[in-house]
Structure 1
Amino acid sequence: MPRYALKIEYHGAPFVGWQRQKQHLGVQQVIEEALQKLEPDCGPIYGAGRTDAGVHASGQVAHVDLTKKWDAFRLSEALNYHLKPNPIAITNCAAVDDEFHARFSAIERRYLFRIVARRAPTVFDAGLVWQVNNPLDADAMQKGANHLIGQHDFTTFRSVMCQAQSPVKTLDQLDIQEIQLDGAIEYRFHVRARSFLHNQVRSFVGTLERVGAGSWHPDDVKSALNAADRAACGPVSPPQGLYLAEVGYPTPPFG
C-alpha cells in the first residue's frame, strides 16, 4: 500500500486537539473523513505530535497508507477541497517508503509560542497569541530559560496527566525573540527537542512570563526545576499562543 506524508497547518480553536475523540471533534478525525471521500476504506492517519485543544500547527506531519497510487500534488489538492470549510490545510504531500513513520521516525520537534504585550485588544491576532497588558523583560526571561537547556528531570514542568514513562528529557533550544511592533511588543519563544512532556512548553512559557513580569527572579526557574515538583511550576500559559512549527526527520520527507 502506498504511504504518503502530509504536512498540515491548522487553527486549533475549533478542535479538542489533534487526536480523534469519541464525543468531540479532533483534527485527526476531520482529515480522516476527508481521506475517506477519496478512498472509503482508508485507514487511520498517524501524526507526529498530539497537540492539545486550542493549540495551532504550521508544520504538523502525518502519514497515511492508501490503496491507490496518487500524484502527491493531486492528493493534497483533493484533500484541501474536502477539508473545507474547516481551518485545516495540507501544505505539502510526498510519497514515502514503508519505514517512514510520522511519529517514531521524527528526531526533533520545534514549537513556537507567541506573546503580545499590548493594552488595546488584539484584532488580527485574536486567538493566535497570548496577550498581556505590559511589556516583559526579554533578557530576564532568557536568563531563566537558559537554566532549562540540556537533559533534566522535568517533573516540575509536566502535567499531572502526562503519560510519558519518564520525566527526563533533553531540551535543545529555548530562545526568546523580542519584536517591536506598532504600539505593541511580540515575544516569540522558539523551543526545540526530540520530544516533549504533556504541557511542557506551556509550563515553560507561563513560568518565564512571571520572570519577564518581575514576579520571579531568573534563578527561581532553576530552583523550580530542581524541586522536581509540579507545585513549584509557575502558571501554565493559555493554549492559543502555541504552534507546532516543524518536525525534523533524518531524511526530510518533503525534500
Structure 2
Amino acid sequence: MMSQFDLSDKVLRYGGLAVRGFVYSMMLTPAVIVIGASFNSGELLKFPPQGFSFRWYAQVWQNQQFMVALWTSVYLATFATVVSLLLGFASAFVLDRFKFPLSSMFSSLLLSPIIIPMVVLGLALLQLFSWLGLSQSFTGLLLSHVLIMLPYVVRTLSTGIGLINKTLEEAALNLGASPLRTTMRVSLPLLMPSLVAAAVFAFVTSFGNVTLSVFLASTSTITLPVQIFAFVESSYDPTVAAVSSVVIAVTLGVILMIEKLVGVSQVIGR
C-alpha cells in the first residue's frame, strides 16, 4: 500500500515536471511559431504556413537594409560587450576589495539604469549627447548600450568575485607575484564562468535593445531590432519572420559557443 510520503513525493515530482514543461513550452512556442511562419510560401505572415519556401530568407539576404542593420547590431553588441566587461570588472573588483565612504552610492549609481524607465533614459541621453555633440553618432549609441549593460555585468561579476578563494591570491602575492600578475594568472581564470555569463547578458541586452536605439540611432547606425520595428509598421509579409529567425539563430550560436568553451552549466551554475 502506498504511504503518504511516497504519494507526496510523486505529487511533487510530477508537479515539478508539469511546471517545467509549461515554462519550456511558453518559452519555445513563440520561437517555433516565428520559425514556422518564416517558411511560409504565401504573401502574408501567418501560422501554420501555407506551403514551404525559402524565398523570404533569400529576400532577407538580398535586402541591403536588413543585412547592414544585422552587422551593425553584431558589431555594436560585440564592441559594447568588451567595453562593459572592462568597466564592469574594474567596478566589481573595487566594490568587493576596497571599502570607501561613497561605495554604496557608487554601487547604486551603477545599478540605476535598471530602475530608470528606458524611455526616460533615452530622452535624457538624447539631450545629453546633443549637448556633447554626440547625437545620432555611433559613439553615443555605444555609450548608451554600455550604460544599460553595466548593471548586469557588475552584478554577475560581483557574485563571481565574492566566491573566489582569496587565499589563492594571497598565496600568489606571498610567492612574489605582482598584483597585476596575480589578477591575470589567478583571479581571471577563476572568474572565467562569471565573465562568460556577464558577456552573454551584455551581448543579448545590446543586441535586442530597441528603445535606446530608436532615440539615438541615425540612418547609418540603425540596428536590426529598430529595422524590424520599422519594417513591421509598413509591411506584414514573412520577411520579418525570416529576420527574427536569423536573430534566434545568432542567439543559439552564442549558446553553442559558450557550451563549447566553458559549458552552459558552468555559466548558469549547477
TM-score (ref. length: structure 1): 0.23
The structure carrying a bigger helix percent of its residues is 2
Flag the structure with higher strand content: 1
TM (norm. structure 2) is: 0.22
| Structure with larger RCO (C-alpha < 8 A, sep 6+) | 2
